[in-house]
Structure 1
């Protein structure tokens, strides 16, 4: 039985706008030759938006703006109808990575309500009664450093240190503050604007706390906004949670904060007319009775 596959020359499958996406379509025909009605290769790139369950039905205007946005759409005829010999056949290809019309290429991003994906799809048409062969291969797009100087200077992540103090008085998302034990946590984040390829760094210190602490955690949250001028649906979802302290930590001891950003689930902070992708950090303190308090910090991610 014949099989079809796509092999890219780059092992990491990461490309930048303007580069050539090179590879080969590999057909294994088995022990006998295979007849086909043509082999095609398509490059596609799109932004897919969807509403959360709580937003469906609220805004009728959303549905026109939630249609997939095509960023790339190329189709190549790789081979005309004919026959392939037995064994393995490799047909090389190269396609320039360029957007459709005057559109902009965004970085690959796998979110909950926003998805930006790029893929190659190979298809070999077969004669009557034989099943067509198809194969899809996703590749990753990242912003290029070869952009205009003023844009590059604007995009660079200039450090903006954040000093913070967490105590019952600073909490804004707690209604009954009298039920919160007296505590004070001080710390800092090295920057609220940072390069996506570098870790989030910082430290915190528990100065005092009237009750025992069970855990201290750092959450990375994505805030995805979809919509149009008539209205927007905004949803926050957790990407990852890292425990930085377990148990009733010593008072007055500096606890390091260190978090690496996962590649496909984060991207440089993005804002367009139809959607936005922002990120936040939550510092969560869980007390022994499982009550918790959270402090939120918006952050901006850049590529450079």
Structure 2
């Protein structure tokens, strides 16, 4: 038994004043009685404490309330009191208001559990007043050596040395890929992997305090194994559209992004230590972080 929401667009992205179209699909072994089918659209900014978070975020969490952006409720009152074992309901609703939740509930009454389904979708801002393209796309050159690292390194890395250089575009459209290049110029220790981490930084202000949480959205491997020296490797990262948005500074909260170029060297310790948090500093890893500005245009 299941209830499914299937939107008309595979990327689940709409513009204001465009109709939100799709289907509510029910699949039951037999007909089911109900007391109404409810469709709810909910959008809000809410700070959530994740596992391992402590300190300032926990102290503020008790006084923070969700910031509502949109709420809309629709009742399918013209549906029969019994749903056949297979049915498709066509929905169309115009939304005038970034990322929202669409929920459908099949209410079955007392002592019966309701059937529910939820799907995320995106409403992009109006295009008026936005530039056709970023006026001056920013390309930042970087280099990673043993002297640029703020954490301790293995003795063989510090004594032998290494240098990884490249460039990356730190301003791009939300629908465009993140591009650049990276070159391993020298390394005394063989390289295990080169990866690009995409981070989202969410901040919210309460009084004079600011709570910030950084999460890793995506990891893309650029090179696997000990790459040839002085060979230019391309960087081409497709951004996860449902997890990214234009960089936002809106009153009490902000959403920012950054990219981290991570070079992992071959060592026996790599297979021993846990890899749960890619942001953790390790003696066999060198990295460089750069701010990333995401913009939206026509």
Tell me the TM-score normalized by structure 1.
0.76
Matching of residues 23-38 of structure 1 within 5 Å: 23-25=22-24, 36-38=34-36
Q: Which residue of 2 aligns with 1:147?
A: 127
Q: Which residue of 2 aligns with 1:174?
A: 151
Q: 1:59, CA displacement in angstroms?
A: 6.3
Structure 2 CA distance for aligned equivalents of residues 11 and 153 of structure 1: 26
8 Å Cα contact 1:29-1:84 kept in structure 2 = no
Q: 1:203, CA displacement in angstroms?
A: 1.3
After superposition, what is the alpha-carbon deviation per residue over 1:97-146, rounded to whole angstroms, capped at 9, x for unaligned? 133xxxxxx2x2xxxxxxxx4213233344x56x25432231411414x3
* Equivalent residue for 1:44, pick from 39, 42, 45: 42
Structural RMSD (CA): 3.3
Q: 1:177 to 1:283 in 2, by over 3 A?
A: same
Matching of residues 150-299 of structure 1 within 5 Å: 152-153=130-131, 156=134, 158-169=136-147, 171-174=148-151, 180=158, 181-189=160-168, 191-289=169-267, 291-299=284-292
Q: Which residue of 1 aligns with 2:105?
A: 122
Structure 1 CA distance for aligned equivalents of residues 154 and 33 of structure 2: 75
* Equivalent residue for 1:78, pick from 73, 76, 79: 76
Between 279-288 and 88-97, report the one with greater CA deviation: 88-97
Q: Which residue of 1 aligns with 2:115?
A: 134
8 Å Cα contact 1:37-1:80 kept in structure 2 = no
Q: 1:18, CA displacement in angstroms?
A: 1.9
After superposition, what is the alpha-carbon deviation per residue over 1:180-236, rounded to whole angstroms, capped at 9, x for unaligned? 2322222111x2101122221111222223333333222222222234233122232
Structure 2 CA distance for aligned equivalents of residues 202 and 62 of structure 1: 39
Q: 1:75, CA displacement in angstroms?
A: 1.8
After superposition, what is the alpha-carbon deviation per residue over 1:278-298, rounded to whole angstroms, capped at 9, x for unaligned? 221111222333512111111
Structure 2 CA distance for aligned equivalents of residues 244 and 198 of structure 1: 18
Structure 2 CA distance for aligned equivalents of residues 228 and 79 of structure 1: 42
Unmatched tracts of structure 2, length 5 or more = 271-283
Q: Give the secondary-structure state (helix, strand or coil) at the position aligned to 2:63.
A: helix
Structure 2 CA distance for aligned equivalents of residues 85 and 242 of structure 1: 45
8 Å Cα contact 1:50-1:226 kept in structure 2 = no
Aligned residues: 279
Q: Give the secondary-structure state (helix, strand or coil) at the position aligned to 1:264.
A: helix
Q: 1:162, CA displacement in angstroms?
A: 1.0
8 Å Cα contact 2:191-2:265 kept in structure 1 = yes
Q: 1:283 to 1:13 in 2, by over 3 A?
A: closer
Q: Which residue of 1 aligns with 2:274?
A: none
